[in-house]
A and B are shown apart, each in its own frame.
Chain A
Amino acid sequence: MRKSSPAVRLLALALVLAPLLTLAARPARAQEGQAGVDEMKKTALKVFLDCGDCDLEYIKTEITFVNYVRDRLEAQVHVLISTQGTGGGGVEYTLTFIGQNDFKDVKDLQKYYSNKTDTDDDIRRGLVKSLQLGLMSFVGRTPISRRIAVEYTPPQGSAEARDRWNSWVFSLSGDAYLSGEETYRSHMAYGSFSANRVTPGSKVRLGLSVDRAKQTYIVDEETITGTSKSWQASGLYVKSLGEHWSVGVSFDAESSLFSNVDLGLEVAPAVEYNFFPYAQCTRRQLRALYSLALNPVRYREETIFGKLRETLFKQELSLTLDLREKFGTISLSAEGSNYLHDLGKYRIDTFAIVNLRLYKGLSVYVLGGYSWYHDSQLSLLGREPTYEEQLLRLRELPMNSNHFFAVGFQFQFGSIFTNVINPRFGSTGGSGMNISIH
């Protein structure tokens, strides 16, 4: 399928040559003028940029030798940009150039890596360069390519620095958020520290985070406050065993007012199998993970089962499917766990995101999750929560299930071109829907 027949190639060549010959018939001078450039712009490459997090306005102002279209089927090249976190805390952007219509025989794949400390401007400039270079395989077949210059500045001779940190990355961050008016105040603070080492052969993640939130309401001169606080420490070690298998172990410690947990510890060895080779992970993954956990817990207040502390054994199996294709994004996961001391106490969580570009201009998304709790809320408060704790959702309540569900569609028609940037009176309120999963 990938290789097109010689007849199609010939046809493509003829299509490419046709505008050239048309241009050739004009006086050479006219091409240098604005009219000539505008004429070339009409036959310029039609590009569909499939990227949730890119600064599209910037890209469109920097790369003007192509036409941008809002529908993938209209495009001659579909640029699918998928992202993944790198070991250094940056992002790997995989740019897949997929030729379509009369460019079916061309394809390419380029990568761009951002660093953790890059600013938005660094990232958008880097992405523009990768896009420009990748697009040239296609632009080279359009007449406008005659007006493109490539400059090469030989480097001043700096060698790659040796990595004296042996792949370790440390990160410390803190955030505070305050808001309020006369009768309402909300304060939140969050802090975290992490140390990670990611190599193709193994992965180590260590993290510590603390958060605290307080809401204050003044109702009839009475002050009502709602507080939530929690902290968490975690560690993960994963070893790679070939293209499909991995084994690892995780350590967790947490405290949460919402869940009535004063201190919960967990040690869990686990094994994972990916049905697709890990090398394809940016576009497709189907991972199955099984873990066995030992979990001693101390509660803040006596639970409905009359416990103040206990040690639990739990097993968990999860399945995750992530697909990123031309037609959209699919992500499904299911997770089941139960306690070994009483197999009837189980919990099942399911989660789905489907975002499809169905037909010209029409896209739909469905996202939802459903969880079943079968006597598995072992940490529930022994007492009834107060009215305010309930309205402000500060305490976990007994439940058999919970769910969230969202569905929507968007249909667009009219002009397929989205070349224009017009910042007057502000740029907000643009139409278009975008769902991105990180």
Chain B
Amino acid sequence: MNRPRTAIAALLVTLAVLAATAAAQVPPPGPAGPPPPPKPKVFLDWPGGDPDFLRAEIPFVEFVSDLATAEVRVLVTPSGPAGSGSVSLAFTGLGPFRGDDNTLSYAPEPGASPEDAKKGLAGTIKLGLLRYAAKTPVAKDLTVKFLDQAKPTAVIDKWRQWVFGLSANAFLMGETQYRNGSYYASLSANRVTPEIKIRTQVYGNWSDYWFDLGDGTAYESATHGYGTSALAVKSLGEHWSVGGYVEAESSSYSNLDLALTAAPAVEYDVFPYSESTKRQLRILYRIGFTRARYSEETIYFKTAESLLQESLSFAYEVVRPWGKASVQVEGSHFFHNVKFNRLELEGELEFRIWRGLSFEIDGSYTRIRDQLALPAGGASYEEILLRQRQLATGYNYSFSAGFNFSFGSTRSNVVNPRFGNGGRSISISM
């Protein structure tokens, strides 16, 4: 090591030590700012009001009699025609809640008894105070409940739940000796109601690759896939659904010039569909007719054929406080020769074993005996390495397992964005 380097290294070490010492002198700070009050202190500005009644109705705040110690001021003023009982409620945040302001109003229903009107008004004050309570530890002891079930389609909608979409995307990357472009476009029309689900789309995707091999030659290739699909499902009660798929597809990966499919299907969910975000066990049976025309002659010497296929699948999903799990099994075969079949198994498990320790496992295995579209000509060396062609195989699998163990101050809510938060990731989903 020569002298300037040593000097700089020494300087860096000194800086690091200084920084570390400076850190040591700072007392360990607690959570940012003073701890929030246990219950919001509310001053009720309502001459002639009944604070005792409100105290009983709204136990998650503390009513104080002095504006100076209050954190929320509720000003109740009569509004509307005299004797109607209508009031305007002005909520003003003070101290820690400065800037948290709102205005609500309350009008008793005609013919309501004074007792009901009093309860109704207390209910409105309660709702208005929730925003403050939500910022205190009281929040975790509150439960909000909707007393009715409203139909999600009870809205004024001139489009009758139809949504149309158009999207186009391009992704390009390159460096001096490599370029890749991918393009994706789609058009969709969907209608989803509790009774019927209709999804239709037309899509296309294209990719091209270019490699400069350095010796004056380049390797170039392109792939494509496009098609259209439609799905219609009718609900028959809480457990049954019937529907059908219609599809047209062209794909260079799968050696399909054009494949047309029509497939009716029926589904049974062992659990009611209304519990779907918590658990589902769906059994789907589908029978499909396909007319396929191949881009190249297949290993079975076909350039076109008509096929009838049936499939049965079981899908189980559960999301619980301990984590989540899903299992899917699907079997299918062609009718002209049951030897041409496929069996797919798929599973996923995320499990929190004990506070800081969690496991994640997912895997899939497919037994493949139905590669009817494989081209007789095979694939080139480059197509194999770039995975641009479907290849002959009897199976495929994927398996992943991971664990995470954390301990220490894992309940710390401090946010410190300085010097970045340790990398950025972007996800685009469509």
Contacts and interface: CB of A to CB of B under 8 A. Distances in A.
Contacts of B80: 17
6 contacts: A199-B414, A247-B19, A269-B15, A289-B419, A390-B177, A409-B168
A88 B167 contact: no
B128 A414 contact: no
B428 A410 contact: no
A403 B172 contact: yes
Contacts of B267: 424-425
A119 B398 CA distance: 24
Nearest to A44: B150
B409 A267 contact: no
Contacts of B324: 119-121
Nearest to B150: A41
Interface string A116-130: 110111100000011
Given A139-B127, A388-B385, A425-B267, A173 B429 contact: no
B52 interface: no
Contacts of A90: 410-411, 413
Given A148-B146, A198-B412, 15 more contacts: A60-B152, A88-B409, A121-B319, A147-B146, A148-B145, A150-B144, A167-B412, A177-B400, A199-B28, A219-B381, A239-B23, A399-B177, A429-B231, A431-B188, A435-B427
Contacts of B96: none
A40 interface: yes
Interface string B243-267: 1000000000000000000000101
B216 interface: no
B155 A67 contact: yes
B414 A167 contact: yes
A153 B151 CA distance: 30
B120 interface: yes
Given A119-B350, A129-B139, A152-B60, A438 B425 contact: yes
Interface stretch (B65-73, B191-199, B291-299): B191-199
A86 interface: yes
Interface in B351-407: 352, 355-358, 381-382, 384-387, 391-407
A237 interface: yes
A438 B414 CA distance: 17
Nearest to B209: A391
Contacts of A323: none
Nearest to B323: A119
Contacts of A120: 319, 323-324, 350
Contact of B409 (A146, A163, A320): A163
Interface stretch (A254-262, A300-308, A342-350, A415-423): A415-423
A320 B171 CA distance: 23
Interface in B194-220: 194, 197, 199, 201, 211, 213-214, 219
A85 B415 contact: yes
A181 B391 contact: yes
Contacts of A60: 152
A434 B418 contact: no
Interface string A189-202: 00000010111111
B23 A202 contact: yes
Contacts of B396: 179-181
B277 A140 contact: no
A435 to B, nearest CB: 5
B405 A171 contact: yes
B48 interface: no
Nearest to A117: B356
Given A133-B134, A133-B144, A294 B243 contact: no
Contacts of A384: 214
A137 interface: yes
A95 B9 CA distance: 46
Contact of B352 (A117, A274, A415): A117
B55 interface: no
Q: Is the interface of A mostly helix, strand, loop or mixed?
A: mixed
Interface residues of B, number: 168
Contacts of A177: 398-400
8 residue pairs, one from A and one from B, having the closest CB atoms: A408-B169, A402-B175, A175-B402, A419-B152, A179-B398, A88-B412, A133-B134, A423-B276
Interface string A168-187: 11111111111111111000
Nearest to A152: B60
Nearest to A331: B424
B402 A176 contact: yes
A64 interface: yes
B143 A433 contact: no
B124 interface: yes
B303 interface: no
B408 interface: yes
B410 A405 contact: no
Contacts of A388: 385
B233 interface: yes
A321 B102 CA distance: 33
Contacts of A108: 100, 102, 131
A70 B163 contact: yes
In this complex, the member of B148, B157, B172, B213 whose beta carbon has the largest number of chain A beta carbons within 10 angstroms is B148
B155 to A, nearest CB: 5
A108 B321 CA distance: 29
A117 B410 contact: yes
A132 B211 contact: no
A153 B141 contact: yes
B33 to A, nearest CB: 9
Given A236-B419, A424-B235, A353 B167 contact: no
Nearest to A59: B277
B82 interface: no
A24 B109 contact: yes
Contact of B172 (A147, A175, A405, A430): A405
B69 to A, nearest CB: 22
B163 A438 contact: no
Contacts of B341: none
Contacts of A246: 418-419
Nearest to A289: B419
Given A200-B32, A388-B385, A119 B392 contact: no
Interface in A27-45: 28, 31, 34, 37-42, 44
Contacts of A139: 127
Interface in A332-360: 353
Nearest to A291: B419
A349 B261 CA distance: 48
Given A133-B142, A414-B162, A172 B170 contact: no
A387 B213 contact: yes
Given A141-B105, A181-B391, A272-B418, A436 B427 contact: yes
In this complex, the member of B143, B160, B280 whose beta carbon has the largest number of chain A beta carbons within 10 angstroms is B143
Given A41-B154, A181-B396, A415-B157, A205 B169 contact: no
